[in-house]
Amino acid sequence: MITRDYNWLKETGFDLIYETAEYWSSRVEYNSEKDRYVINHVMPPDEYQFPVNNSVYTNVVAKLNIESAIELGRMLGEDIPEKWSVIAEKMYIPFDKENKYHPEFEGYHLNVTVKQADTILIGYPLMYKMDRQVSGFMISLSLSCYLILIEYLAVYKMERQVGGFMIPLSLW
């Protein structure tokens, strides 16, 4: 936690993170064919694509939220449902192994024009870990110049100086 405001975290923040993780855990469905938890019938950040199954952005948000709730619960000594660890570990994050990229959603094809490149958002601001080749390909899919720049900086681990300290891009 960057601010180190543990009082806010105990009094307000943890409840918010816990309840959103509870929502996501109630929203997922187990898919036995994939051996993964999926989230179907959602509106992704590119609202023109509604409805979709397994929006990469939505599924990454859910996974990261549940993981954060688990970590903060442990830090604060709060009880966390055991199932959350399994859901976070087995959350389906769409990935095209042949082309080495995260498709916008299940069934997405590279020749489909999108209003917003949802996939670039999992790199920044979500900071979802991807290898350099995948992240580079994702950058090439984005139509948004400023996100391309931010993602480029993140991929190449650029830093900026703030008050005499070097701050990794993921913190600002």
Active site residues: 47
Residue 170 and residue 5: Cα distance in Å, rounded?
19
Is there a contact between 157 and 124 (Cβ–Cβ < 8 Å)? no
Q: Are β-strands 165-168 and 159-162 bridged in parallel, bridged antiparallel, or unpaired?
A: antiparallel
Cβ neighbours of residue 114 under 8 Å, at least 6 residues apart? 46, 48, 49, 104, 143
Question: Can you list the alpha helix ranges (DSSP code H) found in the chain?
Answer: 6-8, 14-27, 56-76, 83-89, 118-123, 132-141, 145-155
